[in-house]
Amino acid sequence: MNHYDTTAYLYDLQYSEEQKLKIKFSLNNLNLKLEFFLLDVGCGTGLLFDYVSESVNVVVGVDISRGILGKAKEKIKGKKNVFLVQADADYLPFQDGIFDAVFAITLLQNIPSPIKTLKEISRVAKNHAAIIITGLKKKFNPKNFEQLLSTIFLLERFWDRRELNDYIALLSKRF
């Protein structure tokens, strides 16, 4: 967390182009609806918000880093349906089954217990929620990333795009 607090001002310069590619690819493979409540776990500086805020009812961005949320706050000015919450991804402060779509982009490699985080994502997602989770290729290989995700979710689609530094998975809840 301290790393992101101190480097928040550089995050978009370093990672925005890569993150935007992952976001665009993911959204091209989803069907978001205006009534959706969307959660972005590990939202960082809020790069996803511009892409989804006009396509869904509510967007909630969660991050543990106060510094990085400060950058995200700058991006949500004028967006009345986007809300930020400082919280640990392992202890999401939401009721069970309230989100129609959940994103966790380039998050799991920063988490001490990815299984715990995945369980929390599953807990707050509705039964038929669309769940997008990406995994950094430097941290995971395709097999161990799929195995990790499959312990909690059903794997609907899996992409290993050469131009991206992450694997992308479209998941659904087991129920």
Residue 27: is it exposed, middle or buried by C-beta count within 10 angstroms (0-12/13-18/19+)? middle
pLDDT at residue 2 in the model: 57
Q: Specify the pairing of strand 37-41 against strand 58-63.
A: parallel
State the pLDDT confidence band at 175, using cuts at 50, 70 and 90: confident
The two tokens of residue 64 are 């543990």
Q: Residues with Cβ < 8 Å from 105, sequence gap 6 or more? A: 19, 22, 23, 26, 40, 42, 48, 132, 133, 134, 166
Residue 3 pLDDT: 56
Dist. CA 72–CA 88, nearest whole Å = 16
Of 19, 13, 92, the residue nearest 51 (C-alpha): 19
Q: Which of 3.40.50.300, 3.40.50.460, 3.40.50.150, 3.40.50.1820 would CATH assign to domain 2-173?
A: 3.40.50.150
Ranges of each domain in the chain: 2-173
Query: What predicted TM-score, i.e. pTM, was given to this entire model?
Result: 0.93
pLDDT tens column, 18-52: 899 999 999 999 999 999 999 999 999 999 999 99
Nearest-angstrom CA–CA distance, 21 and 161: 10
Structure tokens at 4: 């992101």
Rounded to an integer, what distance in angstroms lies between the CA atom of residue 58 and that of residue 79? 10
Mind listing the pLDDT tens digit for each residue in 118-147?
A: 999 999 999 999 999 999 999 999 999 999
